Amino acid sequence: MKKWCKAIILSYVAIALPAMAAGDIDAGQVKSVDCIECHGPGGNSTKPMFPKLAGQGEGYLFKQLMDFASGAREGIFMAGIVSDLSEQDMADMAAYFASTSHTPGAVSDVLLEQGQKLYRGGNKETGVPACMACHGPSGAGIPAAKWPSLSGQHIAYTEAQLADFANGTRHNDMNGMMRDIAAKMSKAERQAVSAYISGLH
């Protein structure tokens, strides 16, 4: 597993990814004022369907903003917001949210065991790899590969993203990696792992 994970990481990091301007944290804090309504102060959303941005990888956040702007990631509401942002604005905002700390979530006892099993060991019978292979034991992600932090994310948001990857509605994952994984997961598995992720820290 470790050798496989290392090989995957190196291959992704080696791929030419979109160049990113250096972000200014202070400028990003000012520019992100309008984000508070949905994503909360410092990026700690209290609304389950809006993701926590606090502590997320800078490169990942920048890529998502760029993807919303280009249409690579669908989202009518976000597309309208980013249409007025320059690449520098996006870099500044990504730097700011990456500098903040996220608030931890809580794990449902009912789903804890199944979610933990999937996150840490995957499902060999259906070919679902362990989530921690790419997102880390504590859900911190791998910034160099632009693989996101999942730690403490809202259950509803994570579950919705997995469902969107599974049905192809969301398709801005590199080489279809998440689409392939999510499609192999049952709805119950997506619910369980989303619940487990919410308590990771």
Give CATH 1.10.760.10 domain extents, the chain.
Answer: 23-99, 109-198
CATH architecture of 109-198: Orthogonal Bundle (1.10)
Residues 27, 33, 37: CA angle, nearest 5 degrees: 155
Pick the CATH number of 23-99 from 3.50.50.60, 1.10.1060.10, 1.10.760.10, 3.40.980.10: 1.10.760.10
What's the pLDDT at 25? 98
Listed as ranges, residues in the chain with pLDDT below 50 are 1-17
What's the pLDDT at 107? 76
What's the pLDDT at 153? 95
What's the pLDDT at 105? 81
Model pTM? 0.87
What's the pLDDT at 20? 66
What's the pLDDT at 18? 53
